[in-house]
Amino acid sequence: MCFLFARAVMQTELQRFNYDKYCLQRLEYSFRDQDPCRSGLVDRQALASILKGNRLPIDKQIIDFFVNK
């Protein structure tokens, strides 16, 4: 499974479960909180905790794959 396919699956699942703009804003805020310098990068552990902490309606295996890539 390639990274682009995993990203497309995640986007489709978020749309399917009507993951609205407020949830996405909360997710974005979580990323900005972990990246105060606005470098656009977070480490894998932070990425995993953000994605799991925001309770995305996505299968755990897809999230794990996304984090590891």
Tell me: the pLDDT tens digits for 3-22? 677 778 777 878 877 777 77
| Alpha-carbon span 64 to 69, nearest angstrom | 9
Task: Answer whether residue 1 shows pLDDT above 60.
Answer: no
Angle at 57 between CA 53 and CA 59, to 5 degrees: 95
Q: Tell how many helices (H) and how many strands (E) occur in the chain.
A: 4, 0
Rounded to two decimals, the pTM is 0.67
pLDDT for 3: 65
Give me 50's structure tokens.
């953000």
